[in-house]
Chain A
Amino acid sequence: MLTINLAVNGQPVSGEVEARTLLVDFLREQLRLTGTHVGCDTSQCGACVVMIDGKSVKACTMLAAMADGAEVTTIEGLANGAELHPMQQAFMDHHGLQCGFCTPGMVMSGLDMVNRHGNDLDDATVRRELNGNICRCTGYQNIVKAIRTGAKAMEE
């Protein structure tokens, strides 16, 4: 077993993991942060996207051991108490989901878009940037709308 020390949603965390433990399994099963989902487990679907040191990463395609010393932000780390993060609120306002399974990854990828492209996102940018996030319910219309609105709201 390996001992890892990292920060998850601003809190210092340490854990014992096998070398082969995936980051997403560590988050879900040991820390019980089950908001990060496993959709495909083959790095296609993006339901497991988390932020590592401020950059979006598929947590199913990274070992927990590789996150030793890193700062991890999951979907649970966004809201301020009962107050949703603007990106979460935008998904709610625009109904950017149906079953909701892909939503945590969509929200995290939306934040990554804002980090790299700023708050003024056009449709084409959002759609291109969603390459790695798959939704099987919605057809993406409201997801795109939600991310654009959320990005804008984060400016305020």
Chain B
Amino acid sequence: MYEFSYHRPASVAEAAALITRAVDGKFVAGGQTLLPTMKHRLASPSDMIDLGGIAELEGIVVNGNIVTIGAMTAHADVAASTEVREAIPALAALAGNIGDPAVRNRGTLGGSIANNDPAADYPAAVIALGATVRTNQREIAGEDFFTGMFETALEEDELIVAVDFPRPEAAAYMKFENPASRYAIVGVFVARTAPGPRVAVTGATACAHRAHRLEEALQGACNAAALDDFRAPVERMNADIHASAEYRAHLVKVMAQRAVAACV
């Protein structure tokens, strides 16, 4: 790891001021991706601004039909939250299946979506549930937040404060995981909402996205059989040592069918 200056602000305002002053500053949440990336010297920020000391970024609040999760809330805390388990059990289950227990104790919601790994789990939930990402500057619709591989709508000095998840009628997330990393080779999140089913796919393409064609196929009858003839576009799929494009296209259909079947 290259040298850097370390800061631990106590408020969002202080964090924002620090990043503006830094030459090449980086916010760090749980550090479960950033620190390994820095060890590989794939990232070398001049300043690391640790958000771990900012109490206002942590916690879970349910207000009517909205579950608000602070950006610095650890995966383990979302997984164990009685409020989340009651309101959106699929979200609690997703959080409880990220990485491994020690990683879940440090990794955070905000860190995961700001990083936008193409195989991360949380982005699929943010998109399918129609969540709103609240930053220190504005609100961003979950669907517009993820713009490309490791790229988001966030400005350089913008900081995620919390994510508002509307409670769906039902939801389910199914992932075919890499057995070593537990990242999704393909993951599909399905949410039943009043206007109709919403579906998001992660792991398959450059980054998680809303799957309009799957949603259309489910408009009539929201069941697994409705997807029997579905074909995901092979030419848009990722291909790597873990899975070919053809295999991922197949997994999109299978994971979508499993998620729809579990979404009751």
The docked-state distance in angstroms from the alpha carbon of A63 to that of B49 is 12
| B4 close to A (CB within 8 Å) | yes
Are B39 and A132 in contact, with the CB atoms below 8 A? Answer: no
Partner among B3, B35, B100, B103 whose Cβ is within 8 Å of the Cβ of A18: B3
- Name the CB-closest residue of B to A2: B6
Interface range on chain B (Cβ under 8 Å from partner): 20 to 34
- Name the CB-closest residue of B to A58: B102
CB neighbours of B180 from chain A (8 A): 44
The docked-state distance in angstroms from the alpha carbon of A84 to that of B100 is 27
Are B103 and A63 in contact, with the CB atoms below 8 A? Answer: no
A-B contact count, CB below 8 Å? 75
| A32 close to B (CB within 8 Å) | no
> Shortest beta-carbon distance, B111 to chain A, in Å?
12
| B76 close to A (CB within 8 Å) | yes
The docked-state distance in angstroms from the alpha carbon of A110 to that of B32 is 21
> Shortest beta-carbon distance, B94 to chain A, in Å?
15
> Shortest beta-carbon distance, B6 to chain A, in Å?
4
- Name the CB-closest residue of B to A132: B100
| B148 close to A (CB within 8 Å) | no
Are A20 and B106 in contact, with the CB atoms below 8 A? Answer: no
| B99 close to A (CB within 8 Å) | yes
Partner among B52, B80, B105 whose Cβ is within 8 Å of the Cβ of A66: B52
The docked-state distance in angstroms from the alpha carbon of A63 to that of B2 is 13
> Shortest beta-carbon distance, A6 to chain B, in Å?
13
- List B residues 97-152 near A (Cβ within 8 Å): 99-103, 105-106
| A27 close to B (CB within 8 Å) | no
| B250 close to A (CB within 8 Å) | no
> Shortest beta-carbon distance, A18 to chain B, in Å?
7
CB neighbours of A57 from chain B (8 A): 102, 105-106
The docked-state distance in angstroms from the alpha carbon of A56 to that of B101 is 7
Partner among A42, A46, A49, A68 whose Cβ is within 8 Å of the Cβ of B36: A42
Task: Give the 8 A-B CB pairs with smallest separation, nearest first.
Answer: A132-B100, A19-B6, A131-B100, A55-B105, A20-B1, A56-B102, A58-B102, A65-B6
Q: Which residues of B contact A (CB under 8 A)?
A: 1-6, 8, 31-32, 35-36, 38-39, 48, 50, 52, 76, 80, 99-103, 105-106, 180, 182
Additional 13 contacts, C-beta under 8 A, given A43-B35, A46-B102 = A2-B6, A18-B3, A19-B4, A42-B36, A42-B39, A57-B105, A68-B8, A112-B101, A112-B102, A116-B80, A129-B101, A131-B100, A132-B100
